[in-house]
């Protein structure tokens, strides 16, 4: 939440009123904090978008199943629900399984294998928290004014128009030899994908669409977005397969002027 509140400082004032686009929806933290009046949100991850579609329509039923799953959670139950999830089809109970796995998996990571199967191991933690009924309703309410799509950023972004606002939070290039951030869909997000994304972002800029991107502070990203405004922030991330947090530098890239103090987050 602290990172999200920091990112709000970089968002243009017109973003809440103008059409809002987020093509790498993920956890939707900025969308939920901003609550834009007109939004188009999307992601290439079909698991994620099916989940949000269910939350939009059936928040109470999802909470009912989630509470039942979490009332006697264990390692054995986690792997049983993971197996059921990988065999299941879109439904309310499938959405509850998705949320349960997210809250009980190792480091809260969502990762799939080449077959599109969720394969994150059980997280060994002392305490597990699940969203309250009110929190799920809050997300459902925010989604009522949004159009949801399962597609790649390249399919949806050509529809953004002059003066509208796009927030991009793509899978990050690895900070070292290991990274969870590229295993979000069966198709890995490679260096070439980063370069193709930069080309799409360039077309947004030429159409005078306002954009903000968060990305890793690595030479590749600095090279690709050298023509835009770059702001450095400090964040706490798990940057290896070990459940250890590290303070790392990340970039906020914009094609509009921002007046904020750059400081640790």
Out of 1.10.1020.10, 1.25.60.10, 2.30.33.40, 3.30.420.10, the CATH code matching 51-135 is 1.10.1020.10
pLDDT tens across 26-70, in order?
999 999 999 999 999 999 999 999 999 999 999 999 999 999 998
Cα–Cα distance, 265 to 247 (Å, whole number)? 9
Sheet holding 245-254, edge to edge: 146-150, 39-43, 20-22, 165-168, 210-216, 245-254, 229-238
pTM: 0.89
pLDDT given at position 187: 58
pLDDT for residue 118:
93
Task: Report H helices in 157-260.
Answer: 191-206, 219-224
User: What is the CATH code for 2-44+166-254?
Assistant: 3.40.50.150
pLDDT on residue 261: 56
Tell me the CB-side half-sphere exposure of residue 46, using CA atoms within 13 A: 8
Q: What angle do CA 171, 172, 176 make, to 5 degrees?
A: 140
pLDDT along the chain (265 residues), means of 10: 85 90 96 95 95 98 95 90 96 97 89 89 83 96 97 97 97 63 59 96 98 96 97 76 70 90 48
| Cα–Cα distance for residue pair 255/126, rounded to 1 Å | 44
The domain segmentation of the chain, as residue ranges, is: 2-44+166-254, 51-135
Residue 21's pLDDT is 98
Gap between the Cα atoms of 157 and 100, Å rounded: 31
């Amino acid at each position: 939440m602290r990172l999200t509140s920091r990112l709000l400082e970089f968002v243009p004032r017109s973003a809440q009123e103008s059409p809002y686009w987020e093509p790498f929806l993920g956890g939707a933290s900025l969308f939920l904090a901003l609550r834009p009046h007109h939004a188009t949100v999307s992601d290439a991850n079909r698991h994620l978008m099916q989940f949000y579609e269910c939350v939009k329509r059936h928040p109470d039923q999802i909470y009912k199943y989630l509470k039942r799953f979490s009332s006697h959670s264990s390692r054995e139950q986690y792997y049983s629900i993971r197996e059921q999830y990988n065999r299941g089809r879109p439904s309310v109970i499938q959405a509850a399984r998705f949320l349960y796995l997210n809250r009980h998996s190792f480091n809260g990571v969502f990762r799939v294998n080449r077959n599109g199967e969720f394969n994150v191991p059980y997280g060994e933690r002392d305490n597990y928290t699940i969203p309250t009924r009110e929190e799920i309703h809050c997300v459902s309410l925010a989604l009522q004014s949004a159009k949801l799509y399962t597609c790649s950023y390249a399919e949806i972004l050509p529809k953004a128009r002059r003066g509208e606002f796009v927030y991009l939070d793509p899978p990050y290039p690895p900070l070292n030899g290991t990274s969870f951030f590229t295993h979000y869909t069966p198709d890995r997000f490679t260096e070439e994908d980063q370069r193709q994304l930069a080309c799409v972002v360039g077309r947004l800029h030429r159409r005078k669409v306002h954009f903000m991107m968060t990305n890793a502070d690595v030479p590749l990203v600095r090279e690709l977005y050298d023509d835009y405004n770059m702001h450095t922030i400090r964040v706490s991330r798990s940057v290896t397969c070990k459940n250890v947090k590290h303070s790392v530098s990340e970039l906020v890239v914009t094609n509009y002027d921002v007046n904020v103090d750059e400081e640790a987050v």
